[in-house]
Amino acid sequence: MKEAVKNDPPSVLTVAEASALVRAAQADGLVVVMCHGCFDLVHPGHVRHLQQAARLGDRLLVTVTADSLLGKGPDRPLIPQELRAENLAALDCVDWVAISENPTATPLLETIRPDVYVKGREYEHNQDPRFEQEKEVVQRHGGRVVFTSGDVVFSSTALMAGMEHSADPVHRALRQLVDQHDLDMDRIEAIVQSFHGRRVLVVGETVIDTYVMCDRPEVAGEAAMMTLRPFEYRSFDGGAAIIARHLAALGARPTLLTALPRSIDSETMRLRLEVDGVDVRAIEVEQRLVEKQRFLVGQSKVMKLDLAEPLVVDEANQRRFVDLAEDIARGSEAVVVADFGLGLLPAPVLSDLCRRVRPHVEILSGDVSGRRSNLLAMEQMDLICPSEVEIRDALHDWEEGLTAVVWRLLGRTRSQAALVTLGDDGLIAFERRPDPPAANWSSRLHAEHVPALATHAVDQLGCGDALLAAATLTRLGGGSLALAGIVGSVAAAAEAQKLGNAVIGAAALRRGIRRLVGSRLAFDPEPAASSVLRCHDQLPVANSRST
Residue 412's alpha-carbon distances to 24, 213, 360, 405, in angstroms, are: 44, 43, 22, 11
Q: Residue 223: its pLDDT value, please?
A: 84
Do residues 35 and 53 make contact, with C-beta atoms less than 8 angstroms apart? yes
Across 148-264, the runs of DSSP E, i.e. the strands, are 199-204, 206-214, 218-219, 226-227, 230-239, 253-260
The fold for domain 185-546 equals UDP-N-acetylmuramoyl-L-alanine:D-glutamate ligase (3.40.1190)
Q: Which residues contact 206 (CB under 8 A, 6 or more apart)?
A: 237, 238, 239, 240, 241, 256, 258, 259, 260, 269, 289, 290
Length of the chain equals 547
Q: Residue 131: its pLDDT value, please?
A: 86
- Residues of the chain where predicted confidence (pLDDT) is lower than 70: 1-10, 43, 70-77, 122, 124-127, 149-173, 435-443, 455, 518-547
- Give the residue range(s) of CATH 3.40.50.620 domains in the chain: 12-162
CA distance 97 to 203: 51
CA distance 117 to 56: 10
First to last CA, the chain: 49
Summarised one tens digit per residue, pLDDT across range 398-423 is 878 888 899 999 999 999 999 999 98
Q: What is the value of pTM for the model shown?
A: 0.69
DSSP string, 376-413: GG--S-SEE--BHHHHHHHHT-SSS-HHHHHHHHHHHH
- Give the residue range(s) of CATH 3.40.1190.20 domains in the chain: 185-546
Residue 78's alpha-carbon distances to 73, 241, 273, 366, 530, in angstroms, are: 10, 52, 57, 45, 47
Residue 107's alpha-carbon distances to 25, 113, 309, in angstroms, are: 20, 10, 58
Q: Residue 198: its pLDDT value, please?
A: 97
3-state secondary structure at position 189: helix
CA distance 145 to 138: 7
Amino acid identity at 406: V
Instruction: Identify the CATH number of the domain defined by range 12-162.
Output: 3.40.50.620
